[in-house]
Chains A and B, each alone.
Chain A
């Protein structure tokens, strides 16, 4: 039987003095799944990832990871704290916030060192990961001097050195050039093949279609609107429109300007209803 990694049960979360960020959200995620969390801006996607990583805690309901309820006590008390931080990695949306060490090598060593691995083991992990990511030449560079794509690679590499079984990714493809995005897609597929659970928030539907099997859609009312296969979700126009993930807008192709719900993935084979010649 597949191990349940996360069990989210009737979770309600509101930032102090603010409206709810998540309301009555429930789902389970099993080991090895590839799950994308979709939703409009400020729907609560990033908040959900923070809850899964034990950085925020639900006001109501509960989040359990590896059969242990995540509370301030449980995530700070060994041995679960160490086991949890080793098993779950979090790629933050803002790479600048994630990269805080003086050099890339120290950045990669930070996680394994906090897990109290031996010096030799840390060095082996750092060297192997630098090679795996093709960033050996950045080893002694300061992370602040890197480009956006390089920062994203280093941020992901700094998680990989902890050998997590689950990786949470907050908008990983945002702001990446096409080549880096393609590299990211391939790398996530490789991770999945080795049994790593991937949970990702994104607005990029083509990226989601390429990498993830299952989709959770959060509505603008901060409730779970859909939980199911990616393919079905991305072909349900009304669902995507209601979650503000696609929209109708005027665009041009085949020598015509016309209006229809627009998703840059398989949606270009359509009947041209409203059209006019240019």
Chain B
């Protein structure tokens, strides 16, 4: 075996002649780091934390709660009038406030809806997709433009019909997202999965969803560990290219580590008898108030649908 000797540079470490970039460079990245940490924390909360479990909606029997929300979401997809969709949105917000869902969280959830819908909303609002009366002229080509086999109009115009289509799409997304989040916020994840399973969701979907939920939580924890490990050895931010290399390597490392840990979690679940059909404790049987929730959901969805068709 080699003799263990501490290297000379270790014992006589002299950093006097070493120059580091000024501290400001590290500070410059601080807002980004803080933002990333906040996103990580929010995602962890979103995955693990159900803040309104103790609310009246949290007390509704999970199968009936899932069924009620499902009815409302289906109604959303059938509604056309902006007024009906607006009414559904108002109802969802009222529900959220009544169960004490923090407004900050709700805003965070809503922020995602337009962001992911932009790719559909923007073309849909213009005469490229939806013809109609001009509301706003965005670009004038001064003549017809050929784009491969397609001929573009003389100008790109936001149309009144386009705006209606975009607004309908956005409102429908917001309605569905808010209703789904109400369900998540008021139901423990395991109870929710159990409720879905009891409503006939195939066993394999239950298993995949359970594992995905666990996997994401594990991945966030590992990502944080990798980030902190790097931070503890970082004096100042390096060149952008090096940082990019580090991010790429970090993603690979994250994938390998989370895959291993997620495998361990899965083994631990199987070892204790999990066979894809998650069994959990349902604390109460179906009560009159649970049935009332389902009836109210059904009635509201029906009234809006009838109003919408008139």
Contacts and interface: CB of A to CB of B under 8 A. Distances in A.
A90 to B, nearest CB: 4
A114 B281 contact: no
A176 B274 CA distance: 28
A119 interface: yes
Chain A: interface residue count, which band?
20 to 34
B190 A97 contact: no
A100 B268 contact: yes
A7 interface: no
Interface in B275-290: 275, 278-281
Given A106-B190, A162-B273, A98 B279 contact: no
B269 interface: yes
Query: Which of B188, B264, B268, B274 is packed against the most chain A CB atoms within 10 Å?
Result: B268
A94 interface: yes
B279 A113 contact: yes
A50 B270 CA distance: 11
Contact of B272 (A50, A94, A159): A159
A3 to B, nearest CB: 21
A92 B264 contact: yes
Query: Which of A50, A85, A109 is packed against the most chain B CB atoms within 10 Å?
Result: A85
A122 B271 contact: no
A215 to B, nearest CB: 24
B269 A100 contact: yes
Binding site of B, secondary structure by majority: helix, strand, loop or mixed? helix
B272 A102 contact: no
Contacts of B261: 94, 96-97
A119 B281 contact: yes
Given A97-B264, A97-B265, A106-B281, A82 B273 contact: yes
A172 interface: no
Contacts of A62: none
Query: Which of A76, A111, A158, A162 is packed against the most chain B CB atoms within 10 Å?
Result: A111
B67 interface: no
Nearest to A82: B273
B224 to A, nearest CB: 12
Interface in A62-106: 76, 81-82, 85-86, 88-90, 92, 94, 96-98, 100-102, 106
A159 B269 CA distance: 11
A277 interface: no
6 contacts: A50-B267, A85-B270, A96-B261, A110-B272, A114-B274, A119-B281
Interface of B: 48, 188-190, 214, 261, 264-265, 267-275, 278-281
